[in-house]
Amino acid sequence: MNSRTRIGSAPDSWGVWFPDDPHQTTWTRFLDELALAGYSWLELGPYGFLPTDPEVLREELGRRNLRLSGATAGGPLHLREAHENIRKELLQVGRLAASQEARYVVFLPAMYRDLHNGALLEPSELDADGRRALVEGATELARALYEETGTRFVFHPHAETHVETDEQIAAFLADTDPGFVGLCLDTGHVAYRHGDTRRLMREFAERIWYVHLKQVDPQILDRADQQQLPFAKAVQLGVMCEPPQGVPSLQEIGEGLAHLPDDTFVIVEQDMYPCAPDHPLPVATRTRRALHDSAIG
């Protein structure tokens, strides 16, 4: 079962959601603890949290025996007027990723709720024009990213965005170019919207180029559903729990990964913003051990 899967983690697992925030740990502590926890791969996280000078980044990763799997960018793809600014950010991030021999840029669509306070920013469903802008923008920007940086665009369905349910994921994949647009399947966000990770990995194996691994606490999810809590509040309550305590089970994830290439990146994301600075390392260490014991990697 995917014994050669490439396992890594991300700044998100250390409570980092933003380039700079007083509630977050330092980038040096993150890198030190990532290596201590037993990971050899990492994701860049929000652009500006880790050094953006390629030589500095290469040196800092190298002396800890770490390698970059990918980077992240994002924005409101459903708004055509935002495409040019998204393109600039995407290419900037892609160039930095490529400088470290990383192959992927994970794209996060804009949320329809405020990530800080949960306020509704816009309707949760797109109209026809917005949906066309989303899928056409994904294909156009993915092509530009690959042609200009050599990195691949992997779209990340996310809670409280316009692509969050299994049905929306399937529709997005049907309407985007499979030669340029891949999927970053996040097991926790799928579970948050009551999707089926194992089935998605089986049915869309050729489009899933990258995986984020996390689990959901079913009891906290029930509370979030019943009280209609925003995602940010659910995260603060611990809805994204430490593996192997939540759903989907590590067995289900492993069975899904069996449909993907053995060298697929599986990047752990814990979603614990904000958190005490001493909290992430023990969680990351136990998680790494659990993944090894479950034969995921």
Q: What is the pLDDT of residue 117?
A: 84
Q: What is the pLDDT of residue 4?
A: 57
Helix (H, G, I), strand (E, B) or coil at 159: coil
Question: Buried b vs exposed e over 170-190: b needs ≥16 C-beta within 10 Å?
Answer: eebbeebeeebbbbbbbbbbb
Where in the chain are the domains? 6-293
Rounded Cα distance between 200 and 250, Å, is 15
Straight-line distance from the first to the last Cα atom of the chain, in angstroms, rounded to the nearest whole number = 9
Please list, in sequence order, all residues whose beta carbon lies within 8 angstroms of the beta carbon of residue 21, skipping any fewer than 6 positions away. Answer: none
Query: Encoding tokens for residue 94?
Result: 């892609």
Any idea what DSSP says for residue 231? H
Architecture (CATH level 2) of domain 6-293? Alpha-Beta Barrel (3.20)
Which is nearest to 14 in space by CA: 3, 28, 24, 2?
24
CA distances from 35 to 7, 42, 49 (A): 12, 10, 17
Q: What is the pLDDT of residue 14?
A: 97
Say if residues 21 and 46 touch (Cβ distance below 8 Å). Answer: no
Say if residues 200 and 256 touch (Cβ distance below 8 Å). Answer: yes
Say if residues 91 and 144 touch (Cβ distance below 8 Å). Answer: yes
Q: What is the pLDDT of residue 271?
A: 85
Please list, in sequence order, all residues whose beta carbon lies within 8 angstroms of the beta carbon of residue 244, skipping any fewer than 6 positions away. Answer: 215, 250, 290, 294
Residues in a beta bridge with 68: 42
Residuewise pLDDT in 10s, the chain (297 residues) = 445 579 999 999 999 999 999 999 999 999 999 999 999 999 999 999 999 999 999 999 999 999 999 999 999 999 999 999 999 999 999 999 999 999 999 999 999 999 888 899 999 999 999 999 999 999 999 999 999 999 999 999 999 999 999 999 999 999 999 999 999 999 999 999 999 999 999 999 999 999 999 999 999 999 999 999 999 899 999 999 999 999 999 999 999 999 999 899 999 998 888 899 999 999 999 999 999 999 998
Rounded Cα distance between 154 and 157, Å, is 10
